[in-house]
Chain A
Amino acid sequence: MRIKQLLALIAVSSFLVMSSCEDEISKISSGDEPIKEIAGKWHVVQLSRNGEELSERMDMTNFSIEFKPDGTYSVAEQLPFMLQGSGNYRLNDPQYPFSLLMSAQDDGQELAVSMQYPVVKGERQLSLSFSLGCSGNTYQYNFERE
């Protein structure tokens, strides 16, 4: 009798475990990762060159870039960046982006900027890595929304 009860208990438990797993799996597969929205005006809060921190030494007051919802960007005149002026942008993947693809207005060629979109102290940061001049020099800019 006890064995029968035990077998029944195992069967019920297995069913519950299996069905709960299915629920989780279905949740994961049906729950979409939100689309990353970077539209807004972003200001540089941290800047490093070849790993050397320059934020404390440079006046970054006007180091900003604006991404507009219509897919265009505008770089502040004072911001050292790989592109100047304005142009178009898009993410390589709207849900899991690792590159920001930018093209200047007068040049259709897209440049890929390595990007991360971490949450720091509860706020999204936009972290871009690229070279400004020589490819041997790597810069990382961390932006916060204004």
Chain B
Amino acid sequence: MKKPIKTISYLYFLAALLLTICLVQCGLKSLTVTVPPQGEVGQRVTFTMHSGAEPRIEGSGTYTTQLLAGIMVPKGWNARENAVLTFTSPKGNGTLRLIPDSEIEPVSGLNWHQAAKKMFGIGPNLVDDFEWIIYRSTQSYTFANNEDIDFNVKVECDLGEENMLLRLGFYVGSAIENLRPQDTDYKKFAFSNIFEVTGGQGDLIDFVNPQLGTVQPVKTLDNDIITLNFNAGVANTALDNLDDVYLRVRAFDANDQLIAESSAPNEKTKLQGVGGKRFLIDIWPRGFFGLTADMQIARLEYFFTDQTGTKTVGYGNTDEPFRYTFRCD
């Protein structure tokens, strides 16, 4: 009786080994992207993803799936409305359709777009005003063993109206696989080289270079809670080696009239150290300045100072203030 049991055990072990080998060897080729170095505001630009499938299927089985592809772009580009994704491959060409928000990615319990944001983040960008948008091919494709192919996914997308420096995110995957954290075979993602949008009005939004002062979220109104960051590690400044850094800030209305200011270094204006020579302060501008209902702040000008208020750091480590404009679009 022992011999058949032993044989069955060996068979199970062999099956598990084959399955493991298959799982390890099946999957997608690494993802590379072709992204132009720059584009003009409002221009329709094409980005291309290059990847491929490497089906390694034991026996006579096949692997049937749909192609997933995703992009990470600034929210302000409104890519959900205007981006078009198509693909070309030896197995046929086709289009990809936005996955509805109502469809849940099973591993995360979030919708696919939120799940991708959670999984891939914002890559090497330093400021978050991005969204991941995931698409799925309208057709399924069946692969036999060793039916290796290369495919390209073309993304056509309108650039927004703002000048910016950023790195774009890209993803390809297999629709029958979920976004499992440990999986490296069925999800491939990459971030582009620096892409610049030029020709717009207003300040450059720099997502990629460390800056002395930044504000988060990128887009707010005066009733939002905003975080002003001072990154003292970016350059040598008048505030080097100080533990206590304060905010001096002036608020202007839409007519560019000064309507409120806070210049005294005190507990209310003191930034918190968060390590690595970085400091921040969270303020609710309407409450911070004690605005009445009829007052609205259009923009802020601010400096970082020492406790005496005599040493100051402004935009680009100059005497010019940092500027922040409240807007949603």
A residues with a Cβ closer than 8 A to B are 49-50, 54, 57-58, 77-78, 80, 82, 84, 132-137, 139
Which residues of B in the span 208-238 have a Cβ within 8 Å of any Cβ on A?
Answer: 217, 219-225
Known: A54-B282, A84-B293. A133 touches B287 (CB 8 A): no
Q: How far is the CA of A50 from the CA of B75 in the complex (A)?
A: 13
Q: How far is the CA of A137 from the CA of B221 in the complex (A)?
A: 10
Give the interface SS of chain B, mostly helix, strand, loop or mixed.
loop
Q: Does B280 belong to the interface (CB within 8 Å)?
A: yes
- Does A136 lie within 8 Å of B217, measured CB to CB? yes
Selected from A84, A132, A135, the residue in CB contact (under 8 A) with B225 is A132
- B281-322 vs A, CB cutoff 8 Å, 1 = contact: the mask equals 010101100000100000000000000000000000000000
22 A-B contacts (beta carbon < 8 Å): A49-B217, A49-B224, A49-B225, A50-B217, A54-B282, A57-B272, A57-B280, A77-B287, A80-B225, A80-B287, A132-B221, A132-B223, A133-B221, A133-B222, A133-B328, A134-B220, A134-B328, A136-B75, A136-B217, A136-B328, A137-B217, A137-B220
Q: How far is the CA of A50 from the CA of B286 in the complex (A)?
A: 19
Selected from A54, A134, A139, the residue in CB contact (under 8 A) with B221 is A134
- Does B225 lie within 8 Å of A54, measured CB to CB? yes
- Does A133 lie within 8 Å of B223, measured CB to CB? yes
Known: A80-B225, A80-B287. A133 touches B220 (CB 8 A): yes
Q: How far is the CA of A106 from the CA of B257 in the complex (A)?
A: 28
Q: How far is the CA of A49 from the CA of B282 in the complex (A)?
A: 11
Residues from chain A with Cβ under 8 Å of B219 in the complex: 134, 136-137
Closest CB in chain A relative to B216 CB, distance in Å? 8
Selected from A58, A80, A135, A139, the residue in CB contact (under 8 A) with B286 is A80
